[in-house]
């Protein structure tokens, strides 16, 4: 038998400065790509209104988070603004082995760790804003944040953007639909990478000898 086999899933990391658009781009992608699932992180920060346990995050006490880290249950974990964030290992490994793709909404330190640990699996995309003015406008558009909070978010944004060179793909998020289409193109191209199709050598052998 020499039929086409199952591919390995893609680890698609989408990173951006806060206000860079990754939440809305991720949401649209997840709605329209049935083979793509979101990696749900653990965090020690408190839930925001409307955030649900197991949907947006697994909310942990610092002790529980530390215990998970000690048991090596995270693929990566990092500190961000005094809180801890980590990617639970088991769901990612299961998805990749079953040929499903996983989307990660994580910051640059997490991406760096994932890339070091799973270089053949990870495809990193960084979304840049078209200008700092536009980024600030998007941050202000979020609601009633104080000037202090806006300034803090801009500082965080600048710090995140300093790491754009770690990523395989860099997109300037000028318009939402165009950006979603570009991210989708990267995902689709990554699916056909030779390394994700371990069944190919036998298949091609079969074609050539059959």
Binding site for ligand 5GP (CB under 6 A): 41, 45, 76, 78, 80, 85-87, 105-107, 109-110
**Measured from the CB of residue 26, what is the shortest distance to ligand 5GP in angstroms?**
10
Beta sheet of 58-59, edge-to-edge order: 58-59, 42-43, 83-88, 74-80
Instruction: Please report the beta strands in 97-167, taking only residues with DSSP state E, as ranges in sequence order.
Output: 101-104, 122-128
Nearer to ligand 5GP, 100 or 160 (CB): 160
Contact between 99 and 9 (Cβ < 8 Å): yes
**Measured from the CB of residue 129, what is the shortest distance to ligand 5GP in angstroms?**
14
Nearer to ligand 5GP, 7 or 157 (CB): 157
Q: Determine the residue with CB nearest ligand 5GP.
A: 110
Nearer to ligand 5GP, 83 or 202 (CB): 83
**Measured from the CB of residue 167, what is the shortest distance to ligand 5GP in angstroms?**
13
Nearer to ligand 5GP, 73 or 200 (CB): 73
**Measured from the CB of residue 100, what is the shortest distance to ligand 5GP in angstroms?**
18
Nearer to ligand 5GP, 78 or 96 (CB): 78
Q: How many Å apart are CA 170 and CA 93, to the nearest integer? A: 26
Sole residue written with tokens 């030779």: 194
Q: E strand or H helix at 14, and its extent?
A: strand 11-16
Q: How many Å apart are CA 176 and CA 13, to the nearest integer? A: 18
**Measured from the CB of residue 127, what is the shortest distance to ligand 5GP in angstroms?**
12
Nearest to 109 by CA among 133, 84, 142: 84
CA distances from 9 to 35, 40, 52, 187 (A): 9, 16, 26, 10
In this structure, the strands spanning 101-104 and 36-38 are: parallel
**Measured from the CB of residue 207, what is the shortest distance to ligand 5GP in angstroms?**
42
Nearer to ligand 5GP, 7 or 29 (CB): 29
């Amino acid at each position: 038998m020499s039929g086409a086999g199952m591919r390995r899933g893609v680890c698609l990391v989408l990173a951006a400065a806060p206000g860079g658009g990754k939440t809305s781009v991720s949401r649209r992608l997840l709605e329209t790509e049935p083979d793509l699932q979101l990696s749900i992180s653990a965090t020690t920060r408190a839930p925001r209104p409307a955030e649900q346990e197991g949907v947006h995050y697994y909310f942990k006490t610092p002790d529980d988070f530390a215990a998970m880290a000690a048991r090596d249950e995270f693929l990566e974990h990092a500190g961000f603004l005094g809180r801890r964030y980590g990617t639970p290992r088991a769901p990612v490994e299961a998805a990749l082995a079953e040929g499903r793709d996983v989307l990660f909404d994580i910051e640059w330190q997490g991406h760096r760790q994932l890339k070091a640990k799973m270089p053949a699996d990870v495809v990193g995309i960084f979304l840049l804003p078209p200008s700092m003015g536009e980024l600030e406008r998007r941050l202000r558009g979020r609601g009633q944040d104080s000037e202090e909070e806006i300034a803090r978010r801009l500082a965080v944004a600048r710090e995140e953007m300093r790491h754009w060179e770690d990523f395989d793909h860099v997109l300037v998020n000028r318009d939402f639909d165009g950006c979603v289409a570009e991210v989708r193109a990267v995902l689709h191209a990554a699916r056909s990478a030779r390394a994700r199709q371990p069944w190919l050598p036998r298949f091609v052998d079969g074609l050539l000898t059959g």
